[in-house]
Amino acid sequence: MNILHISNKPIYPLIDGGCKAMCQMLRALMKTNKVNHICLSTHKHPFKKELYPKEILDLSDTQSIYVETRLNFFKALIHLLFNISYNFNRFYSHRANAIIQKQISENNYDVIVLDSLYSCAYIDVIKRNSNSKIIYRAHNVEHRIWKRLHSEEVFFLKRIYLNILSKQLKKVELNILKKVDAVWSISELDSLFFLDKTKHVSTLPMALEFKDQLKEYSNTDLFFIGAYNWKPNLDAVVWLANILLPKLHEKDPSLKLHLAGSFSNELESQITYRQNVFFHGFVNDSNEFMMKNGIFVMPIRTGSGVRIKALEAMSLGVPIIGTGVALEGISEGEVFLKAESIEQWVEKIQFLRASASKREELSINARELVKSKFDLNAIDQLIQMELERIVA
């Protein structure tokens, strides 16, 4: 098949779960198809061709289009007054629209994959100029993220604004679902939302490669790793460091918290409690970081979709404590400990730090679960089967 793959940001470097999910999709498509790859680039996510692996560049026609997404208060106000989603429309540019139109007019694509909601900003030009089957790769249900942010917000005016943003994005999502030929959702829970709103829905989980090296269970430090330009991560870690860690230090002042991830500068300025808090910034090998730094704590309260970092940690045998939201869609069996209130967090962390056998039990169970559900080769085959079904 001849396929066009469009992402809303450069895939490389693999700085967050979204990039890793896009990477897995692009590589799966390339295995048995001819693929052209277009990525939008922004001031926050610039395109650096030298960071793309040689095999990707050799096997796909890769190009980048810069889109200016920096906040423009005048445009934001106009969008608010006309009740149009500024979050979504920031990813549209006339230049990118013209380039994509030229690309699809010069190539007879069987399928166009729009990887993430914000890649769908160009769906109308695709519909007007192509008979290709359009697949929306949904990383989450976007408006739910903003709805949960709204529910957690205490400042009245900001609550109103977040509620408006959520409703605008829901309208965008519902409109897109009417225009695509298929939705490939990462999680079964998100698929339930899409099910009666579009032609064809499949759950195609994030695929993982499993390494032979397994974690050892003696380290009882805590850690978090993620991208801090994503508000659910930022809010979670600010609470973790400033509110939860002081409570934990009342029981054990020696407890260490390790924080890593991209856009760490947006985090450090908000951490006021720094006793035994270690900032690692962006780490080149996230697997090595997770293997070395103890227990993954995920006090995330907003967001939508499966956390890629949680799946990666489980594949490595890393013990996890998280909220129901943090581990949404990964709730089978005893593979992690769940905590919601601050009292539960203190209790579960103390318990898991004290029990090496429990850490090992959770880790082995988690690794077996993700092995059975997220195997790379099996999901790559599933993607090819879905492609053939859609174009048949």
Q: Regarding predicted confidence, which is higher, 58 or 352?
A: 352
| Within a domain: 89 | yes
Is residue 327's pLDDT more than 90? no
Query: What is the predicted pLDDT for the residue at 152?
Result: 77
| Within a domain: 92 | yes
Query: What is the predicted pLDDT for the residue at 15?
Result: 84
The residue range of the domain holding 314 is: 222-373
**Does residue 123 sit in the same domain as residue 254?**
no
Instruction: Look over the chain and give the mean of its residue pLDDT values, rounded to a whole number.
Output: 91
Query: What is the predicted pLDDT for the residue at 216?
Result: 67
**Does residue 259 sit in the same domain as residue 129?**
no
The CATH number given to whatever domain includes residue 102 is: 3.40.50.2000
| Section 227-252 average pLDDT | 93
Is residue 305's pLDDT more than 70? no
**Does residue 319 sit in the same domain as residue 387?**
no
| Within a domain: 266 | yes
| Within a domain: 84 | yes
223 CB-contact burial (10 Å; exposed 0-12 / middle 13-18 / buried 19+)? buried
Query: What is the predicted pLDDT for the residue at 38?
Result: 97
**Does residue 134 sit in the same domain as residue 69?**
yes
**Does residue 338 sit in the same domain as residue 349?**
yes
Q: How confident is the model at residue 212 (pLDDT cuts 50, 70, 90)?
A: low
Is residue 165's pLDDT more than 70? yes
Query: What is the predicted pLDDT for the residue at 354?
Result: 95
| Within a domain: 214 | no
| Within a domain: 213 | no
**Does residue 252 sit in the same domain as residue 227?**
yes
* Helices of type H across the chain: 17-32, 54-59, 73-81, 86-89, 94-106, 123-129, 142-152, 156-179, 188-194, 231-239, 245-251, 265-268, 286-292, 308-316, 342-354, 356-373, 376-391
Is residue 391's pLDDT more than 70? yes
Say how far apart CA 182 and CA 137 lie, in whole Å. 9
**Does residue 51 sit in the same domain as residue 149?**
yes
271-299 confidence digits (pLDDT tens): 999 999 999 999 988 888 999 999 999 99
Integer CA distances (angstroms), 229 to 103, 164, 267, in order: 31, 21, 9
Is residue 332's pLDDT more than 60? no
Say how far apart CA 382 and CA 387 lie, in whole Å. 9
Q: How confident is the model at residue 351 (pLDDT cuts 50, 70, 90)?
A: very high
| Within a domain: 202 | yes
73 CB-contact burial (10 Å; exposed 0-12 / middle 13-18 / buried 19+)? exposed
**Does residue 341 sit in the same domain as residue 387?**
no
**Does residue 137 sit in the same domain as residue 187?**
yes
| Section 225-237 average pLDDT | 89
| Within a domain: 212 | no
**Angle at the Cα of 289 (from 285 to 294), degrees rounded to 5?**
160
| Section 241-266 average pLDDT | 94
Q: How many distinct structural domains can be found in the chain?
A: 2
**Does residue 138 sit in the same domain as residue 262?**
no
**Does residue 161 sit in the same domain as residue 76?**
yes
**Does residue 15 sit in the same domain as residue 126?**
yes
Query: What is the predicted pLDDT for the residue at 303?
Result: 66
